[in-house]
Amino acid sequence: MHDLIAAPLQDQHLILRPGSRRAVKVGSSKFADLCDAVAGGQPVPAWLVDVARRVWGVDASGRPADAAVLVREPGPYELSRATWEINLGCDFDCEHCYLGEKRFEGLDWDGKERLLTVMRDAGVIWLQLTGGEPLIDPQFPAAYRLAHELGMQVELLSNGSQLAKPRMMELLTALPPTKTSLSVYGASAETYDGLTRRRGAFKRFTRGLDAAVAAGLNIDLSLIITNRNAHEADAMRAWADRLGLPYREYANISPTIHGGAETLPSQSPEHLTHRAPFTGCPAGHTFFHADPFGRASICKVGREPNIDLPTEGVAGLARLGSIADSLMLRTGGCSGCQLSSTCRVCRPMAKVFQEAKAPLHSYCQHGMKETAS
């Protein structure tokens, strides 16, 4: 496997190290110099030997450039980031889960291989693998490895339940993710198992978290605060602090992607935070989402219309920008709203709340005003 990735990104040129979040920008002449070295079977250029040693502690001196560096081709669009739900199946059944019913289904191996190749050809550099729980997919290890081989920087979004398995940890230490984001659903077995509706879930998570910490993975915790575990919010924060791990808190519960409202009662009312006013989003322009069948949409929320990537290939993504623009128009219940310039949710998110007939105060300024008066 390559030590470094050289990737064009619009008018910039980046050098990346698989598994590291650090990236180095280089000028176009150095990038061209590197491409020549790779094509001509020459050693890694001296300037890159120096950069690799300084930034990542990698010794590339005397190494053939074509073995040490994978040079990525530019994609035809500006889409450099993607998320992929490899499978919606999950070993937990969280009360608040925005995926709602999670069927274990998706592409076969040929389809997964094709999808990852299309993503590479589209110019995706940063790929988030998610689910459901991505690590329970039997083809996760092969897909994870292939994404690395294709020169993508892979981030994992996981519930951590599988991380204590030796084979999983062998894979993730040999090919570290750039980031492993783990969701935390409570600080005690009673609360955690209750929220996830799985006996033993807390034990599996704790073991997985400990294994990931011991392996030195780059971990980021997502503390999920609901009415079930709000009383343990301080304990969850203290747990993260004790481990010295960064964390973010998520307390705003959304309807399901199927427009279902069954998740909303798990909202902890006192933790419903007012988002900052929505000022725009590059969904569909610089990033996209792929579901388990390889259907590409602008993001995880605005799922339709979508593009069948295994069938349509890279060319299909040419439509994504105009799909994104149309989804941002204030239509439906939002058309003509006088408060749209200070709205706190994007239009795709508002639509999901409206379809679920969610209480206005949970997402809309009109409801907030009514509540306040």
**302 lines the binding site for ligand SF4 (CB under 6 A):** yes
Max Cα-Cα span within the chain: 72
**152 lines the binding site for ligand SF4 (CB under 6 A):** no
**Of 306, 335, 310, 303, nearest to 319 (Cα)?**
306
- Which stretch in 33-41, 127-135, 136-144, 265-273 sits in contact with ligand SF4 by CB under 6 A? 127-135
Taking CB under 6 A as the criterion, the residue among 299, 309, 317, 343 binding ligand SF4 is: 299
- Which stretch in 52-60, 171-179, 332-340, 344-352 sits in contact with ligand SF4 by CB under 6 A? 344-352
Taking CB under 6 A as the criterion, the residue among 8, 18, 123, 132 binding ligand SF4 is: 132
Taking CB under 6 A as the criterion, the residue among 6, 283, 307, 320 binding ligand SF4 is: 283
Question: Helix count (H) and strand count (E) of the chain?
Answer: 13, 13
Taking CB under 6 A as the criterion, the residue among 51, 71, 90, 187 binding ligand SF4 is: 90
CB of 278 to ligand SF4, least distance (A): 7
**99 lines the binding site for ligand SF4 (CB under 6 A):** yes
128 - beta bridge partners?
A: 83, 155
The rounded distance, in Å, linking the Cα atoms of 83 and 291 is 8
Cβ 259 vs Cβ 352: under 8 Å = yes
C-alpha torsion 223→192→128→96, nearest 10? -80
- Which stretch in 129-137, 171-179, 186-194, 357-365 sits in contact with ligand SF4 by CB under 6 A? 129-137
Site residues for ligand SF4, window 174-193 (CB under 6 A)? Answer: 183
Taking CB under 6 A as the criterion, the residue among 7, 52, 281, 356 binding ligand SF4 is: 281
Taking CB under 6 A as the criterion, the residue among 295, 348, 351, 362 binding ligand SF4 is: 348
**159 lines the binding site for ligand SF4 (CB under 6 A):** yes
**162 lines the binding site for ligand SF4 (CB under 6 A):** no
Match 């550099």 to its residue by tokens.
Answer: 125
CB of 231 to ligand SF4, least distance (A): 19
The rounded distance, in Å, linking the Cα atoms of 70 and 251 is 40
- Which stretch in 103-111, 146-154, 296-304, 333-341 sits in contact with ligand SF4 by CB under 6 A? 296-304
DSSP readout, 303-358?
--S-EEHHHH-GGGGGGHHHHHHHHTS--GGGTT-TTGGG-SS-HHHHHHHHHTT-
Three-state secondary-structure class, residue 248: strand
- C-alpha 303: how far from chain center: 15
Which ranges constitute the DSSP H helices of the chain? 28-39, 46-56, 65-68, 109-122, 140-149, 166-174, 189-196, 201-214, 233-243, 309-312, 320-327, 347-355, 365-372
Question: 165 Cβ partners below 8 Å, 6+ apart?
Answer: none
Nearer to ligand SF4, 75 or 348 (CB): 348
CB of 91 to ligand SF4, least distance (A): 7
**131 lines the binding site for ligand SF4 (CB under 6 A):** yes
CB of 107 to ligand SF4, least distance (A): 18
Residues in touch with ligand SF4 (CB under 6 A): 90, 92-94, 97, 99, 131-133, 159, 183, 281, 283, 299, 301-302, 346, 348-349
